[in-house]
């Protein structure tokens, strides 16, 4: 069998999105649109997935490290796009091309596999879907205007004319094609840009092939949403919602307990284990992993985090590139920034922020605290309002706090600084020197009580100083 390679068309600007971001990098559940297409194709076609890039090509390349790219300098239309990639693909030994629009994020491996199966041996074939409103899609014209008639042509929406093409049907071109490379090479030079869009349409290959007596297969995929294209913000939102719904359904099926499921958003790369609990609204994105018996409550946002068994992320916490160990508690209203690691049974409470900081097993920072570039030992207690002063305007420095240490409220730890195991720092201290293990440090102004002067009244006599104060 001739070797089949895939070409994903991802060079266009996506004018109808009205955005500076190239369309194929528009995000659905925080992953770029084209990555959905690539994930649907790779299980079926392995390594032979090529991507045609053009508009903001470097940004697109960056999103697919290790990908194979062909550069289309000017986006003159989908036929020009195919023509641009053919020489490289042919040189790589590919003889048949599965051409897929990069703006079909709902594509599934099953759909790709069945399309390939049904088009085996056909020199040219394409998938069709049936829509209530054919909108901007290319219309499929068949002999006798019947669904089972032979395909005659695809007519782009802009060119469609009832007088010329007969009554409008609901079957449209879905933007996925299988074509023998030899046939594409023969017909592409015949495609012109003499049309309403002034572009070279790949869909013109159909009529050209039919004109040469070649039967072109229009593979009807019915109302399958897997091939819906995204051209506008409205279509992006609808496709994202379909993906979201499908993912939440699958998680429920697998045994994740989800409260308010219509408000839960889980990205395609995130894993949520059966037995985990989620409460909407909440969002879990990137390569996150939520273990069984772990819990994410409402208004929580999780990006690229590991949340171990029995850990609870309470409401309104935002956590990113962090690890929350077994049975640890975060929030409400906590923020874990990249490099935060909470070991088993540790607690981070309200208005606490951690960045590049490790909280040892059972350690607690429960209120109003910033721990940046810090290591906190097991069982340590970080009082309310503790701040690690980790930045001197030029460099970052570490704070190390030992096991079972007790840091009093409203303490500033001026890094680099080390507080030993079992040490105690008095409330309100500004700690600039190391504190040894088992030592107590108080670094604050001593309290003085003096008479207060009040206008028109005698001075209040000072209190007798208490002995030992
Ligand atoms: C295309 C089809 C239409 C079909 C629809 C399905 C053509 C002419 N029309 O229309 O029949 O119903 O898809 O969704 O093909 N691209 C390039 N280089 C270019 C031009 C486009 O890479 O020079 C890429 C775009 O980035 C996009 C894809 O090709 O990912 C399709 O282009 P788009 O402009 O979205 O085509 P449609 O108008 O949707
Ligand atoms: Ca499109």
User: Are the beta carbons of 32 and 286 closer than 8 angstroms?
Assistant: no
pTM: 0.94
Quickly count: other Cβ atoms within 10 Å of residue 260's Cβ.
Answer: 12
Is residue 469 very low, low, confident or very high in pLDDT (cuts 50, 70, 90)? very low
Least confident of 108-112, 151-155, 217-221, 465-469: 465-469
Q: Where are the alpha helices (DSSP H) in 204-300?
A: 204-211, 233-254
Averaged over 78-85, what is the pLDDT? 98
Q: Which residues line ligand 1 (CB under 6 A)?
A: 9-12, 23-24, 52, 54, 72, 75-78, 80-81, 101-103, 136-138, 154, 156, 172-175, 201-203, 229, 231
Q: Which of 80, 165, 347, 367 is catalytic?
A: 367
Is it true that the peptide bond before 332 is cis, omega within 30 degrees of 0?
A: yes
**Paired residues of 271 in beta bridges:** 289
How deeply is 163 buried, as exposed, middle or buried, from its count of CB atoms within 10 A (0-12, 13-18, 19+)? Answer: exposed
Strands (E), 116-162: 124-130, 139-142, 151-155
Quickly count: other Cβ atoms within 10 Å of residue 348's Cβ.
Answer: 33
| Domains of the chain, start order | 4-227 (3.90.550.10), 255-441 (2.160.10.10)
Q: DSSP 3-state assignment of 2? A: coil
pLDDT at site 467: 57
Element (H, E) at 335: strand 335-336
* Ligand 1 pocket: which of 216, 229, 238, 239 to mutate (most atoms within 8 A of CB): 229
Averaged over 405-434, what is the pLDDT? 98
Whether the predicted pLDDT of 434 surpasses 50: yes
- Integer Cα distance of 164 and 217 in angstroms: 22
- Work out the widest C-alpha separation in the chain, in whole angstroms: 114
User: Are the beta carbons of 259 and 4 closer than 8 angstroms?
Assistant: no
Whether the predicted pLDDT of 362 surpasses 60: yes
Averaged over 262-286, what is the pLDDT? 98
CA of 78 to the centre of ligand 1 (A): 6
Average pLDDT, the chain: 95
pLDDT at site 287: 98
Concerning whether 367 is annotated as a catalytic residue, the answer is yes
pLDDT in tens, 22-35: 999 999 999 999 99
Q: Supply angle C-alpha 449, 454, 458, rounded to 5.
A: 90
């Amino acid at each position: 069998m001739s070797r089949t390679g895939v070409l994903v068309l991802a060079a266009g600007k996506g004018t109808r999105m009205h955005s500076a971001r190239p369309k194929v990098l528009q995000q659905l559940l925080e992953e770029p649109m084209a990555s959905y297409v690539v994930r649907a194709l790779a299980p079926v076609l392995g390594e032979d997935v090529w991507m045609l890039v053009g508009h903001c090509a470097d940004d697109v390349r960056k999103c697919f490290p290790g990908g194979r790219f062909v550069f289309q300098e000017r986006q003159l239309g989908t036929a020009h796009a195919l023509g641009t990639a053919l020489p490289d693909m042919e040189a790589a030994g590919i003889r048949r091309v599965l051409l897929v629009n990069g703006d079909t994020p709902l594509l599934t491996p099953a759909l790709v596999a069945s399309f390939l199966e049904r088009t085996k041996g056909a020199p040219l074939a394409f998938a069709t879907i049936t829509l209530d409103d054919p909108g901007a899609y290319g219309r499929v014209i068949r002999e006798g205007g019947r669904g089972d008639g032979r395909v005659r042509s695809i007519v782009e929406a802009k060119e469609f004319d009832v007088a010329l093409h007969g009554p409008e049907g609901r079957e449209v071109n879905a933007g996925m094609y299988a074509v023998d490379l030899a046939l594409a090479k023969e017909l592409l030079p015949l495609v012109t840009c003499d049309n309403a869009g002034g572009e070279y349409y790949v869909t013109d290959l159909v009529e050209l092939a039919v004109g040469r007596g070649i039967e072109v297969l229009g593979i009807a995929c019915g109302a399958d949403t897997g091939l819906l294209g995204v051209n506008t913000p409205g279509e992006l939102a609808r496709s994202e919602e379909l993906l979201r719904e499908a993912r939440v359904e699958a998680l429920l099926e697998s045994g994740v307990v989800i409260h308010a499921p219509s408000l839960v958003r889980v990205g395609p790369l995130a894993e949520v284990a059966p037995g985990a609990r989620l409460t909407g609204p909440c969002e879990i994105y990137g390569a996150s992993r939520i273990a069984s018996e772990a819990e994410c409550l409402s208004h929580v946002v999780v990006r690229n985090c590991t949340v171990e068994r029995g850990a609870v992320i309470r409401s309104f916490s935002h956590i990113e590139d962090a690890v929350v160990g077994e049975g640890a508690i975060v929030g409400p209203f906590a923020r874990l920034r990249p490099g935060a690691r909470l070991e088993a049974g540790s607690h981070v409470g309200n208005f606490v922020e951690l960045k590049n900081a490790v909280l040892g097993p059972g350690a607690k920072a429960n209120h109003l605290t910033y721990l940046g570039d810090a290591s906190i030992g097991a069982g340590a207690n970080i009082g309310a309002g503790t701040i690690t002063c980790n930045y001197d305007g030029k460099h970052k420095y570490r704070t190390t706090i030992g096991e079972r240490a007790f840091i009093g409220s409203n303490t500033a730890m001026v890094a680099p600084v080390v507080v030993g195991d079992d040490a105690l720092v008095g409330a309100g201290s500004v700690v600039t020197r190391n504190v040894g293990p088992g030592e107590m440090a108080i670094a604050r102004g001593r309290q003085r009580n003096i008479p207060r002067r009040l206008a028109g009244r005698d001075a209040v006599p000072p209190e007798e100083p208490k002995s030992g104060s």
